[in-house]
Amino acid sequence: MRDSPKIEQGRFNDIRECIGCNICLAFDSLGAPIRCTQNPTMGEEWRRGWHPETIPPKDTDDTVLVVGGGPAGLEAARGLGQRGYDVILCEESRELGGRVTREARLPGLATYGRVRDWRLEQLKRMKNVQLLPGNRVTADLVLEAGCSLVAIATGATWRGDGVGRYHAEPIPGLDDVEVFTPDDIMDGRLPQGRVVIYDDDHYYMAGVIAEQLVAAGCDVTFVTPEPTVAAFTQYTAEQKRIQRRIMELCSAVHTSTTLARTEPGTAYLACTYTRRETAVAADAVVLSTGQIPRDTLYQELAELGPAALEEAGIRRVVRVGDALGPGIIAGAVHSGHLFARTLDTALTDETPYRRENVTPDWDRPLPSRGTA
């Protein structure tokens, strides 16, 4: 029999509150499997047999160390804890939440904190999950932890060299100017004066940084290689509002334009069609371009080799979330959940979920649930 809704049961804190990101709409618009930032089972109910509320009980004797308390680490620990596994989650910062905690402080992104809040609410009731913020984990500590599975969920770092979708090589001249990344801004290190924001990410980050810097008194020039500001947000139905806001806030907006090179006091912009250059006065540049995984700990453990790990009782070390592949928050949450369900995040050539028959043998029975 179907349970009554959580709201009727008075279980308000068990409700995964929507953060309003419209990633569900974006993936649906793109014709990709629908995704939800808060609920990683959305779109996987039939394909993978994932129920949004229940999860199979544990079926191994593993104990799990999760390193990193961002969206992927929190979701991995929560799912594993719900399954009955003993879990230790260590986070270097004194605050849990990783990128969602940091991004939630940027203008207009406060609701992103709900990704952390719902998970912490669930985790605090789990006696089998230890949360240890303010603990930096080294390779030696991993070996001493005594856990048989290790999930590295240490996130990603924004690049400071301009490499991204447009530039495959670092932008020349950046050593001679003050360069800031979204990590700097989120750490409270802000530029001053005339600032060029170069957006080769095309989502929300550069726009909210522009909002913050203009409020802090900066004179901002916004530059993007795409024909529109925050081009990806056309899929989340936010693009027109964001472009209007950026055009109102910034001194100048250059679309179809790349940051070609810099010199002290000057940023040289180039049209992506003609390569014609324009010089813009700049005391600093903010680069919202690519990210690289923070996977040093994973690499250190990999270098130790399987024998050393086995001797320490570790049978598998995996990366999850942005430490595996930087992306959107929904991707990190999904990755953490996938690990909690499968104790693995390896990609294989086998279709990992059921699909409809579209071939002439349409009447062939579908494989049993969850085994395709």
Whole-number Cα distances in Å, 207 to 106, 249, 323: 10, 10, 24
3-state secondary structure of 231: helix
Query: Between residues 42 and 67, which has the closer beta carbon with respect to ligand SF4?
Result: 42
For residue 216 the two structure tokens come to: 């802090």
Residues in the chain: 372
- Specify the amino acid at residue 90: C
Q: Which of 256, 61, 237, 259 is nearest to 167 (CA)?
A: 259
Q: How far is the CB of 122 from ligand SF4 (least distance, A)?
A: 16
Q: How far apart are CA 193 and CA 219, in angstroms?
A: 6
Q: How far is the CB of 71 from ligand SF4 (least distance, A)?
A: 12
Query: Between residues 69 and 331, which has the closer beta carbon with respect to ligand SF4?
Result: 331
Q: How far apart are CA 13 and CA 6, in angstroms?
A: 9
Q: How far apart are CA 330 and CA 229, in angstroms?
A: 22
Query: Between residues 15 and 279, which has the closer beta carbon with respect to ligand SF4?
Result: 15
Q: Which of 119, 121, 149 is nearest to 38 (CA)?
A: 119
Q: How far is the CB of 36 from ligand SF4 (least distance, A)?
A: 3
Query: Between residues 23 and 104, which has the closer beta carbon with respect to ligand SF4?
Result: 23
- Please report, as ranges, the residues that interact with ligand SF4 according to CB under 6 A: 18-24, 36-38
3-state secondary structure of 175: helix
Q: How far is the CB of 203 from ligand SF4 (least distance, A)?
A: 13
3-state secondary structure of 213: helix
Query: Between residues 21 and 324, which has the closer beta carbon with respect to ligand SF4?
Result: 21
> Are the CB atoms for 318 and 153 separated by under 8 Å?
no
Query: Between residues 36 and 89, which has the closer beta carbon with respect to ligand SF4?
Result: 36
Query: Between residues 23 and 210, which has the closer beta carbon with respect to ligand SF4?
Result: 23
Query: Between residues 47 and 315, which has the closer beta carbon with respect to ligand SF4?
Result: 47
Angle between helices 205-215 and 239-249 (to 10 degrees): 30
DSSP state of 283: S
> Are the CB atoms for 222 and 229 separated by under 8 Å?
yes
For residue 97 the two structure tokens come to: 């939440």
